[in-house]
Structure 1
Amino acid sequence: MTARENHLTLPHPLAHLRAFVLIPWIAVDPTAQLTVAGCPRPVTRLLAELEPADRDSVRLFRPSFDLNSRHPVSRAPES
């Protein structure tokens, strides 16, 4: 998805530099690509190019749902 409006640009111009954007994106679509400087790049590669400290600072929250309840039951994040 791409969009360019007065107050919104998708994807964000600095998305390729943000682990908190790339990690959840890969979780949803491991084959995703992002155009950076006019060239499509695998999001997994972009993430690998970030500093380890940036990557390690992001944790995915994956709620699990009890089908008999209306409220999510949280689990510990994956390591």
Structure 2
Amino acid sequence: MGIIALIIIGAAAGFLATRLMKIDADVPTTVAIGIFGALVGGLVLRVLLTISGWMAGFVGAVLGAMLLIWLWQTYGPRR
């Protein structure tokens, strides 16, 4: 059941990610992107959850700041 769920969730995640990033990919590539993305994302999440104390808050703060910077550069006022 686990591998089938991974493929289904990976296919959905890959489809959504390729559409959000405006990438035109065939079905096997989309599924592969989703599966590998789920593996990478799951690994990163596990690492962040195992880091305890202030370090997890610091990593979260840095990631949040990076996201805000990216949003500001992408959607902020044009010069």
- TM-score of the aligned structures, taking structure 1 as reference length: 0.31
Which structure has the highest helix share of the two? 2
Greater relative contact order (CA < 8 Å, ≥ 6 in sequence): 2
